[in-house]
Amino acid sequence: MIRCPSYLQFRFLKPTTKSFSSFSSSPPQYRQWSGLQRWRERPIDVNRFWGKTGPEPPPEKSPDSPTVCGDVSVGSASSLAELGSLVLSTSDPLTKSKLSHSAYSRWLHENLPIGVYDPPAWPARPAKPLLVPPKEIPAPKESGLPLNAYMLHNLAHVELNAIDLAWDTVVRFSPYKEILGEGFFADFAHVADDESRHFSWCLQRLTELGFSYGDMPAHNLLWRECEKSSDNVAARLAAIPLVQEARGLDAGPRLVKKLIGFGDHRTSNIVARIADEEVAHVAVGVDWFISVCHKMGRVPCSTFKDLLREYDVEVKGPFNYSARDEAGIPRHWYDASFIDEQRKKEQLSEVYERLAHIIAMENETASASRP
């Protein structure tokens, strides 16, 4: 069942004589993240190991080397979409992470085409963690993990899902490559590579703490949001980068403070770095959402709100306004209190203008009546 109004259905968009890639930058009235072009031009980041002072390349003989991909090979894949499907079909978390990095690297180095490929209905998952409804996730005291490992496990689960979310976007919308242009797929493959690096840091740190991914249950909420938007690229951009990943901007600083309070500065540094890098992913989503709206002839703000209502996507606070502003999400898109405040300011401004006009008229009348 198609839930979105037909005017928002991406599959009904028709190519125009102008290449869609020319819309890969936000229109002038929207403020684009200042670092977006630098992020796009950045070379592949091989710093997938967290050293004593921060990210660094893995030790040469480390089993966590990104060149090792277990039993999975990317050598036979002939397109980016096929590479993405391989990642989605890989169940082992560490192998998925390494394969994601190898897939992105191979696509860049060998100049492979985008291609067209069908994504699996569900991304492959390991036997653990057990996936349960969000309400059944145990509280920290009932999880069997110390607070720092508990929070890190939750973050690792988010990052693993983020790998699949980004690759699903690449693969699922590959039939529209002529409309979207290569830049769209390059950006989301880049996001997938970043997320795989984040997951490898989380996994490494969990191991250092004496725990493993899968030691406690996790939820499948993120993939449910992804699945809901499988028929509409505008809805996918609204639901995932602009809502789900933006929540990471909100939660990151709070998580860092809790970890510092717990006394785990090494984990807090990892989380702070991940939160900082997530700004790019939200900015990519904002940029492409505005571009798709521009292509459809739709107003981004109203389209965003329409999509959230149609696809039942909830925006929750509290908001990290500074990070969201940096990523380029206008506040009036998501914050009702901000909209109310702006309306009050506009109403007050109108009152002040009227008063000023009345005072000016009275002054003119008084001046005219003087001898």
pLDDT digits over 132-148, tens only? 998 999 999 999 999 99
The predicted pLDDT at position 351 comes to 53
Asked if residue 226 lies in contact with residue 172, where contact means CB atoms within 8 angstroms, the answer is no
- 160 has a pLDDT exceeding 60: yes
Asked if residue 101 lies in contact with residue 66, where contact means CB atoms within 8 angstroms, the answer is yes
Do 357 and 283 share a domain, yes or no? no
Q: Looking at the domain assignment, is residue 118 inside a domain?
A: yes
Both structure tokens of 224: 């449910």
Do 212 and 145 share a domain, yes or no? yes
- Give the count of domains, the chain: 2
Greater model confidence, 358 or 305 = 305
Using CA atoms, how far residue 15 sits from 96, 179, 181, in Å, is 34, 6, 11
Mean pLDDT of the chain: 85
Residue partners of 243: CB distance under 8 A and separation at least 6: 225, 308, 313, 314, 315
Nearest-angstrom CA–CA distance, 340 and 319: 16
pLDDT digits (tens, 9 = 90+) for 315-350: 999 999 999 999 999 999 999 886 545 454 444 555
Rounded average pLDDT over 48-52:
97
Q: Looking at the domain assignment, is residue 3 inside a domain?
A: no
**Closest C-alpha to 39, from 333, 253, 287, 237:** 287
Do 143 and 73 share a domain, yes or no? yes
Do 330 and 357 share a domain, yes or no? no
The predicted pLDDT at position 337 comes to 83
Q: Looking at the domain assignment, is residue 133 inside a domain?
A: yes
Binned at pLDDT 50, 70 and 90, residue 30 comes out as confident
Q: Looking at the domain assignment, is residue 18 inside a domain?
A: no
Both structure tokens of 18: 């102008």
- Residue by residue, DSSP assigns 248-273 as HHHHHHHHHHHHHHHT-HHHHHHHHH
Do 220 and 275 share a domain, yes or no? yes
Do 297 and 347 share a domain, yes or no? no
Do 363 and 228 share a domain, yes or no? no
Rounded average pLDDT over 227-237:
94
Q: Looking at the domain assignment, is residue 277 inside a domain?
A: yes
Question: In this structure, what DSSP letter does residue 333 have?
Answer: H
Binned at pLDDT 50, 70 and 90, residue 15 comes out as very low
Q: Looking at the domain assignment, is residue 9 inside a domain?
A: no
Both structure tokens of 129: 């963690």
Both structure tokens of 25: 């930058």
The predicted pLDDT at position 31 comes to 85
Do 173 and 252 share a domain, yes or no? yes
- 10 has a pLDDT exceeding 50: no
Do 93 and 126 share a domain, yes or no? yes
Do 239 and 207 share a domain, yes or no? yes
Do 360 and 234 share a domain, yes or no? no
The predicted pLDDT at position 16 comes to 33
Q: What are the residues facing 50 on neighbouring strands?
A: 55
**Closest C-alpha to 198, from 240, 241, 248, 127:** 248
Domain assignment of residue 228, given as a range? 29-334
Do 350 and 330 share a domain, yes or no? no
Rounded average pLDDT over 211-233:
91
Q: Looking at the domain assignment, is residue 161 inside a domain?
A: yes
Q: Looking at the domain assignment, is residue 7 inside a domain?
A: no
**Would you call 47 helix, strand, or coil by DSSP?**
coil
Nearest-angstrom CA–CA distance, 333 and 307: 12
The phi and psi torsions of 30 (rounded to 5 degrees) equal -110, 135
Binned at pLDDT 50, 70 and 90, residue 251 comes out as very high
